[in-house]
């Protein structure tokens, strides 16, 4: 079991551009959550997807959007990138029951 996989591992974008990050959940998991981790901070919840719909959302602007596919994989899209969007983006999967989160290794996004 490969666990949660994320791609790409690193990404460099220019301010104003758009970016798409991808995540495949752990086998048997149907719920995907995304977190942003700025340098020196703990992970901050962006949103969660279940049954291809956004179920919960944190305090992030509409520039951050996502999608979940029928195979439970997920994408995180960020439009109109700002320098402050530079961070490690973590994907975590779980089952819909009371199971703990399993995290991926993250995608390091740098906005210049």
Partner 1 sequence: AQRVTQPEKLLSVFKGAPVELKCNYSYSGSPELFWYVQYSRQRLQLLLRHISRESIKGFTADLNKGETSFHLKKPFAQEEDSAMYYCALSPFNQAGTALIFGKGTTLSVSS
Binding site for partner 1 (CB under 8 A): 3-4, 31, 33, 35, 40-45, 48, 56, 58, 90, 94-106
Which of residues 3 and 65 has its CB atom nearest to partner 1 in the complex?
3
Which of residues 13 and 102 has its CB atom nearest to partner 1 in the complex?
102
DSSP 80: S
Three-state SS sequence of 11-58: EEECCCCCEEEEEECCCCCCEEEEEEECCCCCCEEEEEEECCEEEEEC
Cα distances (Å, whole numbers) of residue 93 to 36, 37, 40, 68, 102: 15, 16, 23, 12, 5
In whole angstroms, the minimum distance from the beta carbon of 88 to partner 1 comes to: 10
In whole angstroms, the minimum distance from the beta carbon of 28 to partner 1 comes to: 13
Which of residues 30 and 75 has its CB atom nearest to partner 1 in the complex?
30
In whole angstroms, the minimum distance from the beta carbon of 8 to partner 1 comes to: 16
């Amino acid at each position: 079991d490969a666990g949660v996989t994320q791609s790409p591992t690193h990404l460099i974008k220019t301010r104003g551009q758009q970016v798409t990050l991808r995540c495949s959940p752990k086998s048997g998991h149907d719920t995907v959550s995304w977190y942003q981790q700025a340098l020196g901070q703990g992970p901050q919840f962006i949103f969660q997807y279940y049954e291809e719909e956004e179920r919960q959302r944190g305090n992030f602007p509409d520039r951050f959007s996502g999608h979940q596919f029928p195979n439970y994989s997920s994408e995180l899209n960020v439009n109109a990138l700002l320098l402050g969007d530079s961070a490690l983006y973590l994907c975590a999967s779980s089952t819909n029951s009371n199971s703990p989160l399993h995290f991926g290794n993250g995608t390091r996004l740098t906005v210049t």
